[in-house]
Amino acid sequence: MAGKTLYDKLWDDHLVKQRDDGSALIYIDRQLLHEVTSPQAFEGLRLAGRKPWRLDANIATPDHNVPTTDRDKGVEGIVDPVSRIQVETLDKNCDEFGILEFKIKDQRQGIVHVIGPEQGATLPGMSIVCGDSHTSTHGAFGCLAHGIGTSEVEHVLATQCLVQKKMKNMLVKVNGKLAPGVTGKDVVLAIIGKIGTAGGTGYAIEFGGEAIRGLSMEARMSICNMSIEAGARVGMVAVDDATIDYVKGRPFAPKGETWDKAVDYWRTLHSDDDAEFDKVVELDGSAINPQVSWGTSPEMVTGVEGSVPDPEQEADPIKREGIVRALKYMGLKPNQKITDIQLDRVFIGSCTNSRIEDLREAAAVVKGRKVSPSLKQAMVVPGSGLVKAQAEQEGLDKIFIEAGLEWRDPGCSMCLAMNADKLGQGEHCASTSNRNFEGRQGFGGRTHLVSPAMAAAAAVTGHFVDVRELMN
């Protein structure tokens, strides 16, 4: 019999019941909650007279609606009354049901997918859910992490289980070493460009290979984060020394003898040598250049040296029409060089790229330079209050501010523009976020997905440029 994949092991370790009809009950170790996808779930519990199954498995924080300025005012600082009600509702629900919440003025508040790993609330081998598709982020720790809908949030609150059908196994193997200046974000964009936005549908993806092994935990998080942009609910990386070193000493991580016992288990969280995958995709990591998306789907991406495609060259009529529609929305011409795209705004932040390493990479590029006068705005939004504090301790805030970037407070911000941070109609933005859908960052806004270093390079030049030209 063939060995097990990492996904097989995680599945087996969380299986409560296999039903005859092919569905299964999977136990959930951790649920992260935020204000947008939880109110109807709590209301559902209340209407049915149910209580949460296990309080200590849940952690909540407001992130999508929070403003990134004037945070000392707390909830009162949320100008939009509808947004304020949603954040107040989360506070009220967590207080009523007794769920731990990092509230808006708590330094531990931040984007759910940043604070889980930061607190050690994300531990290797856990099953983790959140009413947010980017929950795949936590798979970087060898976790089984799913994004779920609100009905499932309620189901997990009430039962600590999720009804699932086992997915297929896919290995995405990135061989070789990445070139300097090429980041985890570029790797995942290149993967999505190769397999397409539905390439991972129905699969749990494990990212492996020399290039992935050589990446930091934060870079691995950026990669797993965007599994969903390749269609996969679950993305994972096997546990190694980097994983264990990252977790050690964090507030929710085990200590003493329990730590040693945990590490022994975590060391088993990798695919066996003879494990069989339903699909294997290989990429040459050394051939990946910094990536820039040009269209309105994350698969519409190319290297910075490339050009916008010409729909006339596309044989598939549905794809051709998709390109025509995307170019019209994006205001781009066929064959236009990526480096000729002029920008209006730059956004560095989001659950994909707002951790300390991301900010260090961006700061290294803008240091001693100035934001291009052609830009209307360039902003940096750290992923959590603790990331912000760390960056300030390292002096990164001063580097950004001196270069002319705005230094904001933590939250999802312009990634999806539920707060006041948004693009105007027709504006082009170099964004370190994860989705370039029509209207995602604001009505009529035009998003180009890039790494933090590439966004920083775009900020100081006003257009896309290969960041390696600015690195010494």
Partner 1 sequence: MRAFTQHQGVVAPMDRSNVDTDMIIPKQFLKSIKRTGFGPNLFDELRYMDEGKPDQDCSQRPINPDFVLNQDRYKNASVLLARSNFGCGSSREHAPWALDDFGFRVIIAPSFADIFYNNCFKNGLLPIILPEEVVDQLFRETEENEGYQLSVDLEAKTVTTPSGESFSFEVDDFRRHCLLNGLDDIGVTLEDADLIKDYEEKRKQTAPWLFNAGH
3-class SS shares of the chain: helix, strand, coil, % to 5: 40, 20, 40
CB-count burial class (<10 Å; 0-12, 13-18, 19+) for 27: middle
Nearer of residues 231 and 382 to partner 1, judged by Cβ: 231
412 is in an annotated binding site: yes
Helix and strand counts by DSSP (H, E) for the chain: 15, 19
Taking the C-alpha atoms of residue 41 and residue 196, their distance in angstroms, rounded to an integer, is 32
Q: Collapsing DSSP states into helix, strand and coil, what is residue 417?
A: coil
Beta strands in 94-245 (DSSP E): 100-101, 127-130, 144-147, 161-165, 168-175, 203-208, 234-236
CB of 448 to partner 1, least distance (A): 16
The least distance separating partner 1 from the CB of residue 73, rounded to whole angstroms, comes to 19
Q: Candidates 274, 318, 368, 373: give the one binding partner 1 (CB under 8 A).
A: 318
The C-alpha R_g of the chain, in whole angstroms, comes to 21
* Residue 185: CB minimum distance to partner 1, A: 18
* DSSP type of residue 179: P
Of 75, 85, 242, 281, the residue at the interface with partner 1 (CB under 8 A) is: 85
Residue 265 touching partner 1 (CB under 8 A): yes
The one among 321, 340, 392, 402 contacting partner 1 by CB under 8 A: 321
Q: Which stretch binds partner 1 (CB under 8 A): 77-85, 169-177, 284-292, 332-340?
A: 77-85
Q: Which of 439, 465, 468, 470 binds partner 1 (CB under 8 A)?
A: 439
Q: Which stretch binds partner 1 (CB under 8 A): 45-53, 278-286, 306-314, 375-383?
A: 45-53
CA proximity to 467, closest of 330, 369, 352, 353: 369
| List of residues 6+ apart from 271 with CB closer than 8 A | 3, 4, 5, 6, 171, 206, 208, 238
Q: Indicate the residue among 181 and 385 with the shorter CB distance to partner 1.
A: 385
Q: Is 351 annotated as a binding residue?
A: yes
Fill in the per-residue mask, 329 to 358: x = in contact with partner 1 (CB under 8 A), - = not in contact: ------------------------------
Cβ-in-10-Å burial (0-12, 13-18, 19+) of 42 comes to buried
Positive or negative, the CA dihedral 63, 65, 70, 74 is: negative
| Cβ at position 350, least distance to partner 1 in Å | 13
Number of residues binding to partner 1, judged by CB under 8 A? 85
Q: What is the DSSP letter of 411?
A: S
Q: Which stretch binds partner 1 (CB under 8 A): 207-215, 306-314, 369-377, 412-420?
A: 412-420
Burial of 319 (0-12, 13-18, 19+ CB in 10 A): middle
Quote the CA–CA distance of 256 and 108 in Å, as a whole number: 24
Question: Interface with partner 1 includes 100 (CB under 8 A)?
Answer: yes
130 annotated as a binding-site residue: no
Residue 206 in contact with partner 1, rule: CB under 8 A? no
Establish if 417 lies at the interface with partner 1 (CB under 8 A): yes
| 233 lines the binding site for partner 1 (CB under 8 A) | yes
Coil, strand or helix: which one is 365?
Answer: helix
The yes or no reply on residue 195 touching partner 1 (CB under 8 A) is no
Residues 313, 326: Cα–Cα separation, whole Å: 15
Stretch that binds partner 1, among 32-40, 68-76, 268-276, 449-457 (CB under 8 A): 32-40
Q: Which residue in 77, 106, 194, 202 binds partner 1 (CB under 8 A)?
A: 202
Per CB under 8 A, the list member of 68, 86, 293, 432 interacting with partner 1 is 86
Stretch that binds partner 1, among 231-239, 273-281, 375-383, 403-411 (CB under 8 A): 231-239
Q: How far is the CB of 303 from partner 1 (least distance, A)?
A: 22
Question: Considering only residues 266-305, where is the footprint of partner 1 by CB under 8 A?
Answer: 297
* Spatial distance between the Cα atoms of 216 and 117, rounded to a whole number of angstroms: 13
Quick note: the x/- pattern for partner 1 over 131-160, rule CB under 8 A, is: xxx-------------xxxxxx-xx--xxx
> With respect to partner 1, which residue has the nearer C-beta, 149 or 395?
149
Under 8 Å CB-to-CB from 248, ≥6 apart: which residues? Answer: 259
* Cβ proximity of 420 and 379 under 8 Å: no
Residues 442-471 that bind partner 1 (CB under 8 A): 443-444
In the annotated binding site, the residues are 351, 412, 415
In the annotated binding site for [4Fe-4S] cluster, the residues are 351, 412, 415
